Amino acid sequence: MTRNDRLQDNVNCEVCGSNQGQCFEIHLGGERHVFDSFECAMRAFAPRCGHCGGKLLEHDIVVGDTLYCSSECAHEHSAPEYERRLIPREQTNL
């Protein structure tokens, strides 16, 4: 029995729990992860939107150091921060 045969018999995908005989390992940061499909691996490692928390599986928008799933989320989340930085005209010496 090869190492791959033992892997197939003893583990299930950590995302969906399935083991259809095609599980594979990914080693990341010293940790071992087991998946039965690339879809499950992407779902496990995908970053989340900085506003709505949705998984980012496609292109994203970056504002500063935050990722967003859409321009709407980027605007809704970052607009209040920009508004807090604005100084009302009455408070300036202009």
* Residue 14 confidence (pLDDT): 94
**Tens-digit pLDDT profile for residues 52-64:** 999 988 888 888 8
pTM: 0.58
Q: Indicate the CATH number for domain 46-87.
A: 2.30.170
Q: CB within 8 A of 40, min separation 6: which ones?
A: 13, 14, 15, 16
User: Mind giving me the DSSP string for 5-26?
Assistant: HHHHHH---TTT---SS--EEE
- Average pLDDT of 77-90? 55
Domain boundaries, the chain: 3-45, 46-87
